[in-house]
Each structure stands twice: as structure tokens, then as C-alpha cells.
Amino acid sequence: MATTPNYGWVTPAPTDFVTDLPADFEVFADAVDASFTASEGDLLVGGATNIFSPLTIGANATVLTSNGTTATWAAPAAAGTKEWDLVASGTIANGSSALNLTGLTGKDSYRLIVSGVRASGTGGQYRLRINNDTGSNYNFYGFRVTSTPTLEKDGDSGTTYAIISTGTDSSNSTEFIFDISGCLSTTEHKLWNAEGFIYGTSIRGFTHSGVYMSNSAITELNWLITSATFTQGSYKLYGSA
């Protein structure tokens, strides 16, 4: 009788009689069957010596992967970093005139979302400063929309704030989103965009885009009100690396 080179299965010999073949193939089939015994969920994996062997099913929630040599079970890779991470959130204090978000670090972009803001009186403005910078380092263009669009823009010399909304009113609420990018750079100016909606006794929207003309990294955002104080509002600050 001969045997196969890898598994040693017994095969019929050329000199066997025909009447010997049924018994020979029975021995061969039994050997094949025994070689590939595996439990439910197991996989057959090739080995270094051309021999297949069962890979026992992995633990719950593991995935089949490679270690560079053979297949193996492992925990799945950690989920990727979220596009936006919540950095800070809270309410705007009643009677305050500024929301100062300080100690910002490690994020190249920030998104400030302010909701349900109201003022104690009329005639003021909502403004935003960056790094509490009161210098003439802001330029912007924008539209204020009521029944018709109105162009709003600063002078070419720059202003001392990034204006977000005009016309505070105790009967109106304001929602807005402010985005700024390039915050980690110490060699480039920072671009920002803002849009929002004012509703209550009057309804209007606004959208502004501008540049903060400073090469300083962004470590602080300051949401301000003039000629009045905040009476309510909440905020969420998100950051992205």
C-alpha cells in the first residue's frame, strides 16, 4: 500500500486485486474524514507543512484577521475619531454680558452652536471676539435677510470684533452657528463663517464670512452682547482635529 505525502492517507497499491479496492477506498475515505474533523464554526487553515488544520471559532465579537503569518481571531479595531468632539456645553448666565470659552487647545477647527439666546433689551448687538482680541483684526462680509437681503460689511481697515447679529430684542430669540478653521496655525490668518436665525416678534436671518487677521493660535472664543445683557441661552462647542 502507498501513502499520500502530506497526510499519510493509505491508497491502493498497483498490485492490489480489484476485489481489494472496496476495502482500500474505505480505509482511504476514513482517513480523509478523520483528518478534517472540526466543530461548528471552525475554519480550515493551511499550515507551514501544507497541512490543513482547524482554526477554532473565535470568541464572541472577534473578527478574523492576519498577524502577517497566519489567520487569527482578534478584537475589531477601535472606531475612528469622531469628526466633531464636544469640547464644552452649558447655559449662558442670566445677567451676563459675555460667554468666554477659554483654554482651547488641540483642535484645528471649532464650531460654536448657540441656541435660544435672548437679550434684556433692544438696540444692542451680538458680537464675537477671538482670543479676546480687541484690536482691529477682523474683516467680514455678510447679508441680513428680512423681506429683502441687506448687505452688511465692515470697513477695509478692519473692526474690533466679528459681528454675528444686529438688533437685540427681549421678544426675539437667536440661534446661530459659528465655524472657524486653522486654529492651531501660528503662521496663517483664520477663516470663519457664521449663520443664524432670529425669530419672535420679527423674523430675519443672517450669514457672514470673514477672516481673523492674526497668526496666533486660537485659545479663546468670546460671545458678547452690547447695550443689554443675556437673559437666557445655551451653547455647545465642538472641536475637530
For residue 136, the SS3 value is coil
Give the pLDDT confidence score for residue 97 in this predicted structure.
Answer: 95
| Whole-number Å distance between alpha carbons of 71 and 46 | 9
| Whole-number Å distance between alpha carbons of 11 and 24 | 7
What the block records as the C-alpha cell of 183 is 486654529
What the block records as the C-alpha cell of 162 is 466679528
Give the model confidence (pLDDT) of 86-140 as tens digits.
Answer: 999 999 999 999 999 999 999 999 999 999 999 998 888 889 999 999 999 998 8
Give the model confidence (pLDDT) of 47-60 as tens digits.
Answer: 777 777 778 888 88
Residues of the chain with pLDDT under 50: 155
Q: Around 148, how many Cα atoms within 13 Å sit in the side-chain half-sphere?
A: 2
Segments of the chain assigned to CATH 2.60.120? 85-240
For residue 56, the SS3 value is coil
Give the pLDDT confidence score for residue 78 in this predicted structure.
Answer: 67
CATH no. for 85-240:
2.60.120
